[in-house]
Every structure is written in structure tokens, then in C-alpha cells.
Chain A
Amino acid sequence: MTLDWLDAFLITGLFEVVMVIGLALLLHLQLGLARIANFGVVGFWGIGMYVFGVLYVQVDWPFGEPWQFLACAAAATVVAGLAGLLVGWLVADLDTDGVLVGTLGFATAVQILATTQDDLTGGARGMGGLGFPYDIGRVKDNEFLWLVLVTAVVGAILLYVWRVHRSPYGRLLIAVGSNEPLARSLGKPTFRTKLWLFAVASAAMGFLGAMYGVMVRFLDVGNLGVGVTLAAMVGLVLGGTARVWGAVVGVVLTVGLFDIVIQSYLPLPREWYTQAIPVLREAAFGLTLMVVLLFRPLGLLGDMRRDRLMGKIHGR
């Protein structure tokens, strides 16, 4: 396979875009349907990444690839899901402010733990030793294949979310977000519903974290800052929290525009790349969030159209 036409920087940028689309889609289930403002996305993603990394590097596995990757990724997914269950249990019945503070606090705790438990995680020094579960040639080839695989995973998440909109489960999530006491009066276990939503979405976020760990092959606690949550949140809000394609459109227009077009194709001064660009990125995303919430709070794609959807699948 000749990938000379493909810039290595572009592969990393595309991976970032696709991964954030995946996170934004999962956040869409929580925020867009069930109205749960999860500001701890990076915490669940980070748990997945670090559990994967620690198990992959620190444990002497009796079998080789791809089983080592699969075992570690499965463990990372389960642990992230359990973390979601625990956080969900603590915050699911709180109001929006409580959920926001609780999830943000959880993400901070994950970052602090990853930094302080340096005998396991490498702490601020970071941790190397991760690799692809295959070797098809050059690094660029391996990275490209990994990009294809994460695209397939995120495609599956997109398909799942699309189906959720057309299922009794999706309707239940919307009902919980729209009028929880009324949903309860219809016999719906709203607390349990939110709990499972937290668990399932967090597990998938953890899996994406593990995939990211493989892509970068070096775990850095700097990745556990607010950047990932902000990227998923801003992308989703810009596209439209209530629409399936909102996550895709919004993330392409934010992360895609900034991480690929601006960083790759604009003639920015060299010295900006180390310090200034990450800060500019967060500032630009924050500004986008404010502008969207002020002038188009439902995002570019607008509100969900259940009337159109129901008319299409069930008729009049």
C-alpha cells in the first residue's frame, strides 16, 4: 500500500476528528436525549486509556498480539463502564448543576490519580511501550490501518445511535430528559435508565480511550485536561445536541477545521505549535460554545423532528 500522498500529520488529525465524533455521539445520547450534562467525558475516556496502557505495559502477558490488545481493551472498557455506573449512581438523580460538578470532579480525580500513581502510570513523565496489535510495514501504514479501524468503530457507534432514535429505548431516553416525573408515573424506572446509560456510554468512551492510547503509543497526563470534553461538547452543541448528525457536523467544523485545516494548511509561525496552538484551540472552542448558545442554542441542525420521524416509520 502506497500512502505517500497522505501526510502523517493528516492521519493523526483525522484520527482525532473521528474519535471526537465518537465521543460526541455518545455524549449526544446523554445530553441530547436524556438531558444529562456529562462534563466528565475525558474522565471515562482517560480511564479507558490508562487502564489499557497500564495493563498493556506493566503486565507480562502469556500471549501475543492481537490477543494482548483485545484483553487489555476489554478490561479498559469494563473498568470505564464500572466507573460510569459508579458516577451515574452518585449523580443521576441530581439536577443539572449537580451532574455538571459531579462529572467534572470525576474527570479531575482521574487526572490527579494518573499523575500521582506514577509507579503505575509514569505520572507526569508519561508512559511509553504501547504498540499496534499488528505490524503491516511502516509506522504510517500501521497508523492508517488504525485510523480505518477507529472509523469502523465510530461508524458502528453512529449506526447504534441512529437506531436508538428509532427504538423504544431512545423514546424512553427522550422521555426521561423531557419530563422525568411523568415518565416515572408511567412506570418507567428513570434512575436505572440513567444509570445504564452512564455505564454503556462510559464503557464505549473507555474503548475509544484505549484506541487512542494505541494510536499515540505514549500516555501523557496532559491529554486528561478539559480539551477532550470541550472538543466533544463544543462539536455536539455546534452541530445540534438533539440530532444524530449534529455530532458529526459539529466536530468536523470544530476539531476538523482547527486540527486539520488551520494547523496543517495555514502558514502559522513554527513556535506557535508547542505552546500557543493548544491554548488558542481551547479559546476558540470556548468562544464557539458561547456564540452558538447565544445565537443558535439548538445548533446548526436544530431540534429533533420526531413528528417527521414518526410520520415516516408509523404513518398517520
Chain B
Amino acid sequence: MVADVVRAAAGPRIHVRGAVKSFSGRVVVNVEDLVLGDRPIEGLIGPNGAGKTTLMRMIMHSTSLDRGRVSLLPPGGGEVVLSSLPAHRMARHGVVKSNQVIMDFDKLTIWDSLLLAVAESRYEQPQRILSERTVFARHEAEIRRHLDFFGFGDPSAFAMSAGEKKLLDIVRCLLLKPTFLLLDEPTAGLPDDLTEKVMTVVRELAATGTTVVIVEHDLNVIWNLCDEVHFMAEGSVILRGDPQSIREHRTVVEKYLGEGHV
């Protein structure tokens, strides 16, 4: 079943051209020409080592490109060359990514982590040491809405379990108000009820104009959520299509799914 998200307006897209990345002489990603975001929710699947996470990191410029170009194409026209921007400028352009490997600030509590995500840079200056209450008052309701939805416990505590840290990562991304959201295995390690909540949030985001691209090994998430799926193998995107056609494609079955899945 495909979500068939109807979005209010066209969302931004990302155009990857001639993007190459090698590690120790081995080409990990070699994408000739790829547009992500023609449809509201797209999936990126492929076997381990296909280069999916590296491609995501190249888009975010947290991994530099050997050559090539990654651009953001906003719905109103124009082009922002993401591959020439420093990594911290991505969020300002609405391009946000959750992390495949669990990443957290080990010294910061849940409150801290989420307030950090929402705090405007003008409040984070050395001379603005009295602005905590202002930032908290501006964003408390929004943060609490997310905390309640995902069923977090005491936000003044640290995120302890892997699942809690994974969700915290997703909530941080949501608080950044992304227009183009990349989710790298967002439901890995989450129980079914939380996976369902993540999928609900993704659908809501897409319906309001955010483009979402999901890398995921839980293929039920991909088949249930995505309008379009890209199949990646050996560093390149070799197929794209609707979930049904990708699921049944001979190459995908041979290289990734296996006969049993069909």
C-alpha cells in the first residue's frame, strides 16, 4: 500500500550531478545524475555497502565530494549549491538529516538537546547569558508536543536507551523545521508502535510541503510510505520507480531482496 500523500505545494528537490567519493582508492559513490524529491516521500534502498549513507552524507556536505555537485532546487526556482556550503549552513536552507548511527550529546539532557536544536543563533552569543527563559518560553509548547507524541519520560534526564536516542535525533530534526528531510534508517531498533508514529510524522510533514527521503532496511516502511523508490547498488542509483515495480524488479530481487521476499 502506498501512502499517496497529497501535498499542499511542490516541495524542494535535490540534484546530484557527477558526484564521486572514494575511500582508499575504492569508489564508494559514483552518481551520474540523480534528482531526489520529485515525489513527496522517496525511498533509497540497496544492499549494505551500496553507498546510501555516504551519498546522504555527501548531500549534507558532512563528507566532502571528490568531484561533482549537489544542489538544492527550491520550489520557487533558483538553485543553492549545497556542495560548496559548510555543513552548518544546510539547516538554514531547510536541508536536515537524521543519523544512521546513534549520535547524541553525552553531556546534554533531553531538554538541552531539543532547546539546542530550536535556539536561534542570536540567543547563543557570549553576551546573551540571560536569554534562557526567553528561548524556553518561545519553544516549550512545541517541544512538549513532540515529547508527548513520542512518549518521552522526564525531559530533564539524559536519553538512555538506543531507541530514545534515535527518537531524540528525529525530534531534533523536526524542530529544525526542514523543507528537505533525509532520514537514514529512522526506525532501526524502534518497536512497532514507535515506527508507526515516525511514519505518521513523515506523512504529516510531506503533506505540508516537506520533501522526505528515507534510507531504510525495514522494507515495510519503504513499501508503506514511499511514493517512489530509488535502488542503489555498488555506488550508483541503478533503478527508480514506484514501490510495486521496484519490489518486483528482477535486478532488485537478485541483488537485494532474494526470491522469498517477492
Q: Mark B87-125, 1 if CB is under 8 A from A, else 0.
A: 111111000110100011111110110011101010111
Contact of A172 among B96, B97, B99, B116 (CB under 8 A): B116
Q: Any chain A CB within 8 A of the CB of B149?
A: no
In the bound complex, do residue B88 and residue A187 qualify as a contact, i.e. CB atoms below 8 Å apart? yes
Question: Number of B residues contacting the other chain (C-beta, 8 Å)?
Answer: 45
Known contacts A185-B60, A189-B121; decide if A310 and B135 are in contact (CB<8 Å): no
Query: A168 touching B92 by the CB < 8 A rule?
Result: no
Residues A306 and B91 in contact in the complex (CB < 8 Å), given A171-B115, A316-B155, A316-B156: no
A166 interface hit (Cβ, 8 Å): yes
Q: Once the chains bind, are A200 and B116 in contact (CB under 8 Å)?
A: no
> Within 8 Å CB of B176, what residues of A?
186-187
Q: Is A89 an interface residue (CB 8 A)?
A: no
Cα A184 to Cα B63 with chains together (Å) = 13
Q: Is A182 an interface residue (CB 8 A)?
A: yes
Q: Which of A39-47, A173-181, A208-216 interfaces with chain B?
A: A173-181
Nearest A residue to B133 by beta-carbon distance? A313
- Describe A's contact surface by its main secondary structure: helix
Whether A168 contacts B119 by the Cβ 8 Å rule is: yes
Chain B residue with the shortest CB-CB distance to A177: B107
Best-buried of A169, A172, A313, A315 by chain B (most CB within 10 Å): A169
Judge if A190 is at the interface, Cβ distance under 8 Å: yes
Q: In whole angstroms, how far apart are the Cα atoms of A172 and B176 in the complex?
A: 15
| Contact partners of B136 in chain A: CB under 8 A | 314
Q: How many residues of A contact B (CB 8 A)?
A: 40
B62 and A186 within 8 A (CB): no
With CB as the reference atom, state the residue of chain A lying closest to B105. A178
A160 to B126, CA, bound (A): 10
Whether B87 contacts A169 by the Cβ 8 Å rule is: no
Q: Is B128 an interface residue (CB 8 A)?
A: yes
Interface residues of A in 290-316 (CB under 8 A from B): 303-304, 306-307, 310-311, 313-316
Instruction: Report if A188 contacts B (CB, 8 A).
Output: yes
Give the distance to chain B from A261, nearest Cβ to Cβ, in Å. 35
The yes or no answer to A125 lying at the interface (CB within 8 A) is no
Q: Which residue of A lies closest to B126 (CB)?
A: A200
23 residue pairs of the A-B complex, CB under 8 angstroms, read A163-B129, A163-B130, A164-B126, A167-B128, A168-B115, A169-B128, A169-B129, A171-B124, A174-B107, A175-B105, A179-B104, A179-B105, A181-B103, A185-B97, A189-B86, A190-B88, A197-B126, A200-B126, A303-B107, A307-B157, A307-B158, A313-B132, A314-B136
